[in-house]
Structure 1
Amino acid sequence: MENIKQAGIGWFQLIDHVTFRTHNVEKKAKKIADFGYSHIDTLEFKNWWGNIYALKGRPLVFIDQAYEGEKGEGSLIKEWVDEFGDQYFHHIAIRVEDIEHSVDYFKSKLYIEFSSAINGEPNDNLRQIFTKPEMQNGKAFSVLELIERNNGYMGLLPPTSR
């Protein structure tokens, strides 16, 4: 418990959200619905899309997939699912109170490396950073996301993605 406190993880739901990758969002979503989750939003990007599911008192679940055909070309999701399947989390997001403090703690005390700088400025609605990926069979498998929420924002899109 002391490590959690020192890492800047506060007294709120520890897991913010989890992400599954799949070839068929609707098929995967049926399993999530069996636990009581409901679809609340859809996010669409150039070559992939995903649905967000919520259940009161539980982490959000995000399920994403590449578009089919030419529209999905260039998306890393299809290759990831072909390699690892859709039964594993692509990433788990841990909610933190002060992302700079948490990153410093993870680096200096837990020796965890991050793949980039923090996405977002202080007091932005959502700030995030991802660890370097866990590798399996020489390929990027899963990452941990640290996420800081401000101003009551509960969405999944950081300001830089708008």
Structure 2
Amino acid sequence: MVDGQYGGIVYSQSNHKLIQQGKLTSTYEGRETGFITGDGVVLNTDGTYSPNTTAAITPDWYNRYYRRANVESNSFDASFLKLREVSLQYNFPKKSLKNTGITSLSISTFGRNLATVSDFPIYDPETAALNGDTILPGIEMGQMPSPANYGFNLKVNL
């Protein structure tokens, strides 16, 4: 079974926290030098603009740019495609069960939550948060993705 969602926005508190702590690859820039020059422009005294050349201390820059109040820098497309379940079953032919006392026999294997395709940078865009007894869809606050499950079934009818 495959299912998905196209569109929507998810706000990621985990993205905010992990960037603030320097734990994501997007924080590599500036680590070696200790400084980063952010994109943008500065206003000149004559009213024109020039590219920004002012360096900031790397942790300070990331903490300010990705602060929790900057919702845009921590919001992402919530589109996804998920492989929810795959199963394979074999039914033994009745004539192979002759003289065994078994009327039917089948064996199957399955897997659930096998893959997610998404541009969401953290764990799982299909997420929600709780605020008391209210579910808030589209807010990710450290939720782990659904675990993959594997198993098999054996069905015997006498």
The reply to whether TM is greater than 0.5 is no
What is the TM-score with the length of structure 2 in the denominator? Answer: 0.23
Q: Which has the higher helix share?
A: 1
Which structure would you say has the larger Rg? 2
User: Structure 1-normalised TM-score?
Assistant: 0.23
